Amino acid sequence: MKKILSVNAGSSSLKFQLFLMPEEKVIAKGLIERIGLSESIISIDYLSDGEEKTFKQTKDIANHEEAVDLLFKLFYILSVVKDSSEIKGVGHRVASGGELFPDSVVITDDVVHQIDSLGYLAPLHNPPQAKVIKSFKDMLPDTLMVAVFDTSFHATLPSENYLYSIPYEYYEKYGVRKYGFHGTSHSFVAKRAAELLDRPIEDLKIVTCHLGNGASIAAVDGGRSVDTSMGFTPLAGLTMGTRSGDVDPSILPYLMEKLDLTEVDDMIKILNNKSGLLGLSGISSDMRDVETAAASGNVRAKLALEIFVNRVQKYIGSYIAEMNGADAIVFTAGIGENAPNIRDMIISGLSWFGMTIDTVQNDTRKEAVISTEDSRITVLNVPTNEEIEIARQVERLGARTKISN
């Protein structure tokens, strides 16, 4: 038995789960929010002598280093960990591994530097993640650290799907290609769906729909990602909470002129932060607010909802075409897992493919087959668990480097 920590750092947050492995039992999980702002919030759910307890505190935390320091202090105070040597491995979620990291990797100083240098592919994520990794390495210098990249699962995309139709030399010289994201989640739910279907993943064609505030779809053929909706950055593909998804790039200079913008970055910020459900509805980036407003007759909220559903349907249809078939459609993440109504809207519009939702089975937030027995393509709801997937990657790489029990 060993303790393995999964870490998911955002620009102002640090999410973690501590597992007892190999049984995959969660012994502590929590979130530090508002790092770098006033009144940061720390919340930890943990097991103490077999009893579930919760710790909550509000205090100023200036940066991620302080957050890591505080986390370990709390681990000791709450007796979640008595000595840091009990933690045999730490897995870090990293947004982009570019083409450098087609698989998870044991972290060395060079790797930290490379993660930082890939910041141009994920500017909001890679640089703070590199900093957090450094802080953990300072805290646990002798502990195995593994980086798990959101892009790695998509390293199997064939070149016809990862290349854009622009001069080839831009790929060769500047690495301009589709990288995709959310790979840890797509990989987890595809494997779990195969288990639930009790069929080898090698025999299955699966379309995985990660529909959260950020949203992407992947075509998973025989367990390998062959296409995905996000691109060079996480801005491409579906309509998201605040991101536009796919747009005609000619809109950019046209709008820049109309809006009197001189910096292209300001235009990209509009596409990243003011578009999607928020931009369309004018109400909120949160699907719950959009659904409520649509139900009470707000026309733009209804339109935002319809456009969201339409883009998901388009990608599912095109991925079924690309794989020349599909055995399963899987829904996951905040909207995918929790909004039966939206799953119903999406699948109802794809009935020609032979999928039918079972309205009773679909009324769930839990893992379930939600299509009827005679549905040609099985539709499933599979809550994602990126944290456990990260801990498994630490175990896998640890087995190679022989982490001790």
Report in angstroms the alpha-carbon separations of 221 from 52, 117, 126: 40, 32, 29
Report in angstroms the alpha-carbon separations of 192 from 16, 67, 211, 395: 22, 33, 17, 18
Residue (114 or 285) nearer to ligand AMP, CB: 285
CB of 138 to ligand AMP, least distance (A): 30
| 239 belongs to the binding site for ligand AMP (CB under 6 A) | no
Cβ distance 283 to 298 under 8 Å? Answer: yes
335 among annotated binding-site residues: yes
Report in angstroms the alpha-carbon separations of 129 from 51, 112, 125, 322: 32, 9, 6, 34
Residue (104 or 338) nearer to ligand AMP, CB: 338
Virtual torsion, Cα 30, 42, 183, 188, nearest 10 deg:
10
Residue (115 or 211) nearer to ligand AMP, CB: 211
All residues at 6 or more sequence positions from 33 whose CB lies less than 8 Å from its CB, including other chains: 12, 13, 40, 41
Residue (291 or 389) nearer to ligand AMP, CB: 291
Please work out the total of residues on this chain that contact ligand AMP, with binding judged by CB under 6 A: 12
Residue 402: Cβ within 10 Å count: 7
When binding is defined by CB under 6 A, the residue of 187, 338, 371, 375 that contacts ligand AMP is 338
Contact stretch for ligand AMP (CB under 6 A) within 37-45, 153-161, 282-290, 397-405: 282-290
Q: In angstroms, rounded to a whole number, what is the distance separating the alpha carbons of residues 192 and 343?
A: 19
237 among annotated binding-site residues: no
CB of 180 to ligand AMP, least distance (A): 17
| 288 belongs to the binding site for ligand AMP (CB under 6 A) | yes
When binding is defined by CB under 6 A, the residue of 90, 133, 278, 335 that contacts ligand AMP is 335
All residues at 6 or more sequence positions from 358 whose CB lies less than 8 Å from its CB, including other chains: 369, 370, 371, 372, 373, 375
Active site residue 260: no
212 among annotated binding-site residues: yes
* Closest among 138, 149, 45 to 96, alpha carbons compared: 149
Residue 298: Cβ within 10 Å count: 17
Residue (40 or 242) nearer to ligand AMP, CB: 242
When binding is defined by CB under 6 A, the residue of 334, 357, 378, 393 that contacts ligand AMP is 334
When binding is defined by CB under 6 A, the residue of 226, 304, 333, 370 that contacts ligand AMP is 333
Cβ distance 4 to 21 under 8 Å? Answer: yes
287 among annotated binding-site residues: yes
Sign of the four-CA dihedral 315, 321, 322, 324? positive
| 241 belongs to the binding site for ligand AMP (CB under 6 A) | yes
| 129 belongs to the binding site for ligand AMP (CB under 6 A) | no
Query: Can you list the alpha helix ranges (DSSP code H) found in 104-260?
Result: 109-117, 126-139, 159-162, 168-174, 183-197, 251-258
When binding is defined by CB under 6 A, the residue of 213, 292, 298, 310 that contacts ligand AMP is 213
When binding is defined by CB under 6 A, the residue of 286, 306, 327, 367 that contacts ligand AMP is 286
The residue with its CB nearest to ligand AMP is 334
**What is the CB-side half-sphere exposure of residue 351 using CA atoms within 13 A?**
8
Residue (163 or 283) nearer to ligand AMP, CB: 283
The active-site residue, picked from 45, 60, 103, 150, is: 150
Q: In angstroms, rounded to a whole number, what is the distance separating the alpha carbons of residues 227 and 327?
A: 16
Contact stretch for ligand AMP (CB under 6 A) within 174-182, 188-196, 300-308, 328-336: 328-336
When binding is defined by CB under 6 A, the residue of 107, 209, 287, 390 that contacts ligand AMP is 287
Cβ distance 32 to 41 under 8 Å? Answer: yes
Contact stretch for ligand AMP (CB under 6 A) within 23-31, 36-44, 135-143, 285-293: 285-293
Amino acid identity for residue 306 in this structure:
E
252 among annotated binding-site residues: no
When binding is defined by CB under 6 A, the residue of 339, 345, 369, 397 that contacts ligand AMP is 339
CB of 289 to ligand AMP, least distance (A): 7
When binding is defined by CB under 6 A, the residue of 89, 180, 212, 237 that contacts ligand AMP is 212
Q: In angstroms, rounded to a whole number, what is the distance separating the alpha carbons of residues 111 and 228?
A: 26
Report in angstroms the alpha-carbon separations of 252 from 28, 261, 262: 46, 10, 11
Tokens of 196: 């639930």
Residue (231 or 276) nearer to ligand AMP, CB: 276
Binding residue ranges for substrate: 93
Q: Which chain residues interact with ligand AMP by CB under 6 A? A: 212-213, 241, 286-288, 291, 333-335, 338-339
Catalytic residues: 150
